[in-house]
Amino acid sequence: MTEVRNKQVVLRDYVSGFPKESDMNIVEGTITLKLPEGSDEVLLKNLYLSCDPYMRILMTKVEDPDFFSNYKPGSPLTGYGVSKVVESGDPDYKKGDLVWGITKWEEFSLIPSSLILFKIEHTDVPLSYYTGILGMPGVTAYAGFFEVGSPKKGENVFVSAASGAVGQLVGQFAKLNDCYVVGSAGSKDKVDLLKNKLGFDEAFNYKEETDLNATLKRYFPEGIDIYFENVGGKTLDAVLLNMRVHGRIPICGMISQYNLTQPEGVTNLANLIFKRVRMEGFMVTEYYHLYPKFLEFVLPHIREGKIVYVEDIAEGLENGPTALVGLFSGRNVGKQVLVVARD
């Protein structure tokens, strides 16, 4: 049996407030690159790992058993990744297959085959895309906008955290649907990216706006039909004042709230009644059955250059804590990807 080193990113202890790099440790052990006799698990070599805001929630000690299954101190983080099959006890997966799904933050992972979501069949696009536009964030944007948002051509769409992994896609999907699209982001460079590369009609830096209600009225004098919610808090409160009758709010995330010991209250919820607005949270896992349909939609647009995708690449597992923590200060521009190995 061949034993090789296996570098890991493990949670040091449960996190309160903003996560720090020191909340995670880089440790190195070994792993045997051979499955035990009769095992139905799959041994993966991890190539790309996805840095996602929801991972912060899993760093918190959670008492509710119906909530997320949180990380355990001393164990590797888990998340979405792109991997190559090294050995397989499941006949559906062969040595050399490329897959994406749930894996651990380490160089090699032994996992149940049930955590693998899809084999990667299309390799004429960057493999890293399967952590983003062709992976969980892509399906999130697609399902949230088209299935939950129920867009009609020509509607007014607002996207918060618009330069991130999901937001940049929602804006482009909306433009393909002939909608008027405005995005918010946290820097001038990100605003320029939204307007000049990603095709948003308008964009603004929310950090420079002292009155978000007035800002939204400036960009949406007739109101908002669809608000794709990524941040929560004060942004959501201002949006509720500016929704149109029968508007829709797909709730994808609330990144502004994840690090607060006391989440911010929302005061304008009565507008949901007066304007008959539908606000709906959703989990991407309920929409993975749409993945083949999603690929049929998105792959031609990628190949024709009608949809672009911006990635922020960090190299090396040892840089994983920095890359992950950077999500919460807005350091990344585009989808944050961690490269573990390139083949």
Name residues whose C-beta falls within 8 Å of residue 72's C-beta, 6 or more positions apart in sequence.
11
Quick one: 273 and 203 in the same domain?
Answer: yes
Q: Domain with 55 in it: what CATH number?
A: 3.90.180.10
Q: Which residues of 147-170 are buried (b: 16+ CB within 10 A; e: fewer)?
A: ebbebeeebbbbbbbbbbbbbbbb
Over the chain, what is the mean pLDDT?
93
Q: Is residue 295 part of a domain?
A: no
Q: Is residue 89 part of a domain?
A: yes
Asked whether residue 67 carries a pLDDT value surpassing 70, the answer given is no
Of the candidate ranges 19-23, 26-30, 159-163, 328-332, the one whose mean pLDDT is the lowest? 328-332
Domain that holds residue 210: 137-285
Quick one: 6 and 110 in the same domain?
Answer: yes
Asked whether residue 316 carries a pLDDT value surpassing 60, the answer given is yes
Q: Is residue 166 part of a domain?
A: yes
Amino acid present at 256: S
User: Model-level pTM?
Assistant: 0.93
Looking at the structure of the chain, the number of domains it has is 2
Predicted local distance difference test score (pLDDT) of residue 70 = 87
How far is 3 from 177, CA to CA, in rounded Å? 52
Residue range 110-129: mean pLDDT, rounded: 94
Residue range 25-54: mean pLDDT, rounded: 91
Asked whether residue 343 carries a pLDDT value surpassing 70, the answer given is yes
Predicted local distance difference test score (pLDDT) of residue 66 = 60
Predicted local distance difference test score (pLDDT) of residue 307 = 96
Name residues whose C-beta falls within 8 Å of residue 204's C-beta, 6 or more positions apart in sequence.
182, 184, 185, 191, 215, 219
